[in-house]
Amino acid sequence: MADLKVGTVVRRHKLSPILATFCLAPEDGGAFPAYEAGQYIALRRNDCRLTRKVVDPDGRVRYVPDLDASGQPKTGPVTHSYSIASAPYESRQEGHLEFYIVLEKGDDGTPGRLSSSLMEIDPPADADVTYVNRITGNFTLAKTARDCTSVVLVGTGTGLAPFVSMIKQLHFEAANGRGANGVRYTLVHTNRTTEELAYHQELLAIEAAQRFDFVYLPTVSRPTPRDFEDSSLGRGRANNVLRHLLGMPMKEEEELQAVLAGGGDSGQATRALERVTAPALPGHASRTELQKRLNPSSTVILTCGNPSLMEDIKHIADANRIRFEKEDW
């Protein structure tokens, strides 16, 4: 049986209507298990709006609100694993774990069962989160990046969480005389808007300190006029930024070319290409210098985040014969 504890949310920051970070303190008198950057823990809330599985006549699977006899939504406990965004040293020093969460929604707009409950947390009146007192996972640098001298981290949305933990831990270790042993780290960090780029200022500061070989490439996929004037920001989705670095066409260009070559209707692919933001690097980044960090024989690409983007990033890695690892559980 799982060892369940009840922690308390001690700090919460809402970045947008669908994104937030929060810090969880352990059950009174306890401590969280030791962990490595990149690992995860299971969280649970007991007041989640439950859903039920529906299979449409065409075989499509949907999840819709589960209602009681009076038509009211049923509620109950839901458990899900979340990557830890805090670095191990932070948890030792401050005693909490930090998480970066998104309000998930189904195709029909139904909000995610646990994520919607977590987004509604309102300390101190409503601050309890149950957790499984075990931290686990193989998505650590020791296991995914062994024998590589260049590590490219591609974090989309809340998929940044394991990578910000890794980078903060590397920064701390370098500051305390434990260097990265000649390994180069490059982080591609993408979200829709500047406000949604969680940990952005902290990552800029770590890059500026250069306690280890670290390049930070923040980009936004829905840039505003203000973003075009900010030289510290790049533009475009993470997969297209990586394609740009490796001399590949954007995914949308590639898909349009495939449709045209096959003689199909190009309307949908053309509209997708017209909507997408072309990739551009932050002003301080040199494409030529970055390409030197992408030697296939010594590089690994790690990714976490949107499943469709992770699939394309695997395609990019395979096309360039670069080792690929993704967070998956």
- Does residue 2 carry a pLDDT above 80? no
* Closest among 18, 15, 5, 4 to 118, alpha carbons compared: 18
The mean pLDDT of the chain is: 92
Q: Which domains are delineated in the chain?
A: 4-136 (2.40.30.10), 141-326 (3.40.50.80)
pTM: 0.92
Which of 101-105, 115-119, 184-188, 205-209 is predicted least confidently? 101-105
User: In angstroms, rounded to a whole number, what is the distance separating the alpha carbons of residues 75 and 110?
Assistant: 14
- Say what the pLDDT of residue 75 is: 87
Helix pair 238-245, 251-262: axis angle to 10 deg: 80
What pLDDT is recorded for position 29? Answer: 82
Task: Tell me: pLDDT of 40 over 60.
Answer: yes
Number of neighbouring beta carbons within 10 Å of residue 285: 17
In this prediction, what percent of the chain has a pLDDT beyond 70? Answer: 98
Range with lowest mean pLDDT among 67-76, 216-225, 228-237, 315-324: 67-76
SS (H, E, C) 203-242: HHHHHHHCCCCEEEEEEECCCCHHHHHCCCCEECCHHHHH
The pLDDT assigned to 283 comes to: 93
Residue 217 confidence (pLDDT): 97
Asked if residue 87 lies in contact with residue 163, where contact means CB atoms within 8 angstroms, the answer is: no
Q: pLDDT: is 135 or 51 the higher one?
A: 135
Q: Is residue 4 within 8 Å of 27, Cβ to Cβ?
A: no
305: which strand partners?
none
Per-residue pLDDT band at 84 (split at 50, 70, 90): very high
Distance set, CA 94 to CA 88, 129, 288 (Å): 10, 18, 41
* Structure confidence by residue, pLDDT tens digits, 133-183: 999 999 999 999 999 999 999 999 999 999 999 999 999 999 998 876 789
* pLDDT of the residue at 95: 95
Q: How many CA atoms lie within 13 A of 103 on its CB side?
A: 16
The pLDDT, as a whole number, for residue 108 is 67
pLDDT band at 189 (very low <50, low <70, confident <90, very high): very high
1 has a pLDDT exceeding 60: no
Q: How far is CA 262 from CA 157, 257, 265, in A?
A: 34, 9, 9
Query: How confident is residue 68, by pLDDT bands cut at 50, 70 and 90?
Result: confident
What is the pLDDT at residue 276? Answer: 94
Rg (CA), the chain: 21
The answer on pLDDT for 122 being more than 90 is no
pLDDT at residue 235, as a whole number: 96
Q: Summarize pLDDT for 198-210 with one digit per residue, the tens.
A: 999 999 999 999 9
The DSSP secondary structure of 117-177, one letter per residue, reads: HHHT-BTTTB-EEEEEEEEE-S-SHHHHSTT-SEEEEEEEGGGGHHHHHHHHHHHHHHHTT
Instruction: Give pLDDT, residue 54.
Output: 83
Helix (H) or strand (E) holding 64: strand 61-65
Q: Residues 237-249: what's their mean pLDDT?
A: 96
3-class SS of residue 188: strand
Report in angstroms the alpha-carbon separations of 170 from 13, 87, 246. 24, 9, 26
**Sequence-ordered list of residues with C-beta below 8 angstroms from that of 297, at least 6 positions apart, any chain:** none
pLDDT at 107: 65
Looking at residue 329, its amino acid is: W
Per-residue pLDDT, 329: 61
Kindly state the percentage of the chain with pLDDT values over 90. Answer: 76
- Structure tokens belonging to residue 155: 């974090």
